[in-house]
């Protein structure tokens, strides 16, 4: 454990230095990540006001709380690995990573964490500003916040493992952007980003329950907002654990087979 702590600390310092070189680009990327929940918040709040103050169990203040927390959860769980792995394989960058005495996933995790640390100086002030601007119905309790942080940590690794495993499809195809777009389109609808899960039609809710998207984003949000019963919380953590293990197993299996097939384009 001490060995891995030293490795991650070294990776983290290097990643922070690299991320610091792209401050302007990082700010531009963050604009999109902030605008998306604000747009949905504005739309749903307008709909709620037009329908007498509520849509389902959500008032404008409830929508404000939902999308402010969702903005934070999505920021701290997303990864970009699915967009770069085919390039990494095509250009032969993976060859250098395979020469190192440690699995490439460790440097990717450290880089992702470094990015989140850097962007925290943007996301938290934005969330505070939105809190005062939209006056969300959001209360803070120590126990709820602690449970939320646990769910957020599991969601990060769950989402990262699944997306890292799916990115390994690039071992068999030099272009996997179509697969990426299918995955992210499903995630947009089934993770609660477009609308809270309980406002979706029944069959879509069942599909969301079965797939990992809800447990990576909507579940921590609903947990923080206190919209879940004790049984639903237990079920949510069980589903997170199930998908976390599934992602880990997929990485082990696909990586083992894919590396044997690996050949950089042009090498």
**57-113 residue pLDDT tens:** 899 999 999 999 999 999 999 998 888 888 888 888 888 888 888 889 998 998 889
Environment class of 80 (CB within 10 Å of its CB; exposed 0-12, middle 13-18, buried 19+): middle
In this predicted structure, the answer to whether residue 265 has a pLDDT above a threshold of 60 is: no
- 175 — pLDDT class (breaks 50, 70, 90): confident
For the residues 177-202, what does the mean pLDDT come to? Answer: 91
Q: How far apart are CA 150 and CA 155, in angstroms?
A: 9
pTM of the model: 0.90
CA dihedral of residues 134, 139, 142, 147 (deg, nearest 10):
-80
Phi, psi of 227 (to 5 degrees): -100, 10
Residue-range domain boundaries for the chain: 2-261
- Which residues are bridge partners to 113 per DSSP? none
Tell which phi-psi region holds residue 195, choosing left (phi > 0), alpha (psi between -120 and 50) or beta.
beta
Contact (Cβ atoms closer than 8 angstroms) between residue 196 and residue 41: no
In this predicted structure, the answer to whether residue 247 has a pLDDT above a threshold of 80 is: yes
| DSSP-derived 3-state class of residue 55 | strand
Residue-level pLDDT at 101: 82
**6-59 residue pLDDT tens:** 877 787 778 777 777 766 667 777 787 888 888 999 999 889 888 888 898 899
Contact (Cβ atoms closer than 8 angstroms) between residue 225 and residue 50: no
Contact (Cβ atoms closer than 8 angstroms) between residue 252 and residue 166: no
Contact (Cβ atoms closer than 8 angstroms) between residue 250 and residue 161: yes
Residue-level pLDDT at 53: 82
Environment class of 215 (CB within 10 Å of its CB; exposed 0-12, middle 13-18, buried 19+): buried
Contact (Cβ atoms closer than 8 angstroms) between residue 95 and residue 267: yes
CA dihedral of residues 105, 106, 111, 112 (deg, nearest 10):
70
Residue-level pLDDT at 2: 66
**206-230 residue pLDDT tens:** 999 999 999 999 999 999 999 999 9
Question: In Å, how far from its chain's centre is CA 145?
Answer: 18
Residue-level pLDDT at 264: 60
């Amino acid at each position: 454990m001490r060995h891995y702590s030293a490795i991650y600390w070294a990776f983290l310092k290097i990643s922070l230095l690299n991320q610091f070189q792209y401050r302007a680009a990082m700010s531009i990327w963050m604009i999109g990540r902030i605008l998306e929940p604000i747009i949905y918040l504005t739309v749903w709040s307008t709909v709620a006001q037009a329908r007498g103050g509520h849509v389902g169990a959500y008032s404008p203040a409830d929508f404000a709380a939902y999308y402010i927390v969702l903005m934070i959860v999505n920021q701290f769980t997303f990864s970009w690995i699915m967009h770069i792995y085919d390039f990494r394989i095509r250009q032969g960058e993976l060859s250098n990573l395979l020469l190192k005495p440690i699995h490439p996933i460790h440097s990717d995790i450290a880089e992702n964490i470094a990015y989140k640390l850097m962007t925290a100086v943007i996301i938290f002030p934005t969330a505070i500003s939105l809190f005062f601007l939209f006056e969300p119905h959001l209360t803070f309790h120590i126990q709820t916040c602690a449970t939320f942080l646990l769910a957020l940590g599991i969601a990060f690794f769950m989402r990262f493992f699944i997306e890292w495993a799916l990115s390994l499809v690039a071992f068999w195809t030099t272009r996997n952007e179509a697969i990426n777009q299918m995955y992210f389109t499903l995630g947009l609808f089934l993770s609660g980003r477009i609308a809270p899960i309980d406002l979706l039609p029944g069959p879509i809710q069942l599909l969301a329950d079965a797939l990992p998207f809800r447990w990576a984003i909507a579940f921590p949000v609903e947990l923080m907002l206190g919209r879940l019963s004790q049984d639903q919380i237990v079920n949510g953590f069980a589903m997170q654990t199930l998908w976390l293990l599934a992602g880990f197993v997929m990485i082990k299996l696909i990586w083992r087979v894919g590396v044997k097939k690996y050949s950089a384009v042009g090498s």
